Amino acid sequence: MIILKRLKLRNFLSHGDTEIDFPLGVTAIIGPNGAGKTAIMDAVIHAFLGFERDVKTRGENVDDLIRRGANGAEISLLFEANNRDYLVQWIRTRGGRVEASLQRKDLGYIARSAKQVRQEILKLLELDSRTLLNSIFIRQGEVTNLVEVTPADRKKLIGRMIGLDAFEKTWEDMREIVNHVEKLKSNVETEMHGKSERLKEKKRNYDEGARTIRGLKEEIGVLKEEVEQLEKKYGLVSRERQSLDEKERIFNNLKKDYDIIRRDLSNVEDRLGEIARELEESVKAREEVRKLESEIEKIDLLEDYVKIVRDFQEYDREERNLREKLMLLDEAENWIKDCLKKIVEFNYASKIEADSAKIDLPDEPIGLNTRAAKTVSDVEHLAEQLKTKEKEITALSKKVEGFLVKPTRQVLNGKLAELEKKIREIEDSIKEKDGEIGGISSRIEKLTQDFNSLDRSDVCPLCRTRLTPQHREQAKL
């Protein structure tokens, strides 16, 4: 159902700016000719159907609907359809430009073009444009014709107003289709009769199947009860099995703990046996310690005595070795001094020093005398120490002779190990001295070879100066 509520017109036919409210009920618009009454109905028609070619109200040109002197006309209609308010707006300018919009109060715009607006309105009205024009709107002069014309013409007029003539023409066009449909209907009825029989047969089969299903359902119910009982029994068995599994797990854990405790107990028993044996050995050791306590006080004196004896022997041997080496060094030093005196007379001293650096001599040959003097001093110092040690040994021997007791083998071995370590240290020191003496001997031998080669060489082996016969004679002297 369509209910008009408000119409606004601007520059439409004779209406410059008009707003009309339509209250509920019948609305009558009264006025003289030319006041614009028919224009209101034309505006409602254009509000619903727009300005398409199939919608003509007056004049041949749509621009005739625009008020003289204006550039365009505007129509705005508020109406209710299906209990909802709609607002449709149209704007038609000279030249054919059309703007249209349709909005629903609770949703907003639902169409914004002329085509969309017209389609949405016809959808709301559930009519096409021709039926809308012929069944709802009766224009001026058509009511008078209904009264004055003959019944036959009145029928035609009413038929044209409501579109009955179109329906009659359509009915004639549909006659063949109706006949075809009736034929199809007869065929369908025949087919339906056969299907009805088949349907009855299927219904009987269905009833029989339903009875079978009911019987099966009853059997299923019995089976369900049996299944429930079995599930209960299974639940009991399952819980009992879980309980047994838990007990088995606890038993296995306890067995593992028992094995560990038994193994630990065995280890403890073994350890107790070892401790008992160690205790027994410690008691025996304590008894031996008590026996050796009287001898322990004498061990220190014995150690000092043995140490002094070994030191005395080592010092004596070292003194003899050093004195022999000292004699050799003295002879070498005298021989080198003689050689150097001869070489200096021929002005080779500076070149010999340079050559000594080339052959990597750590000291000048003359420095051997200083090293030999130091060695003599060390020997004299060692001799004094030996005399002091001899006196200490004599005094200590007298003190020890009265109460010296034979020490145990274990104590003597320990003390001897310490003394042997000190002996090795002294031997290492002597080897170091021997190494230095060997280096000096090598340098002396090298100088001797160079001196002996003066007769065979034309160049001095030290300074690389050319030698003359006079130089050789002077060197031999």
pLDDT at 355 over 50: no
Is residue 359 predicted with pLDDT exceeding 90? no
Task: For residues 224-232, give the mean pLDDT.
Answer: 90
The encoded tokens of residue 299 equal: 């061990």
CA distance linking residue 8 with residue 395, whole number of Å: 152
Torsion over CA of 307, 309, 315 and 317, rounded to 10 degrees? -130
Residue 354 — pLDDT band, cuts 50, 70, 90? very low
Taking all residues of the chain, what is their mean pLDDT, rounded to a whole number?
A: 75
What's the confidence (pLDDT) of residue 353?
A: 47
**pLDDT tens per residue, range 16-41:** 999 999 988 888 888 888 788 888 88
Range in 44-58, 342-356, 367-381 the model is least confident about:
342-356
- The yes or no reply on domain 2-126 and CATH 3.40.50.300 is yes
Examine the pLDDT at 366 and tell me if it is beyond 60: no
Residue spans of the domains in the chain: they are 2-126, 294-476
- Mean pLDDT for 368-395 is 64
The string of DSSP letters for 418-474 reads: HHHHHHHHHHHHHHHHHHHHHHHHHHHHHHHHHHHGGGT-SB-TTT-PBP-HHHHHH
Q: Is the pLDDT of residue 105 over 70?
A: yes
Residue type, 375: T
Split at pLDDT 50, 70, 90, the class of 365 is very low
User: What pLDDT, on the 0 to 100 scale, is given for residue 425?
Assistant: 78
Section 341-355 average pLDDT = 51
The whole-number pLDDT of residue 360 equals: 42
More reliable by pLDDT, 333 or 88:
88
List pLDDT tens digits, range 111-153: 999 999 998 988 887 777 766 665 556 665 556 655 666 777 6
Whole-number pLDDT of residue 8:
95
pLDDT at residue 386 greater than cutoff 70: no
Residues β-bridged to residue 93: 72
What lies within 8 Å, CB to CB, of 102 at 6+ separation is: 86, 87, 88, 89, 109, 110, 111, 116, 117, 120, 121
DSSP assignment, residue 62? Answer: G
Residue 191 in this model has a pLDDT that exceeds 90: no
Dump pLDDT digits (tens) for 144-189. 655 666 777 667 656 655 556 666 767 777 777 778 888 888 888 8
Per-residue pLDDT, 94: 87
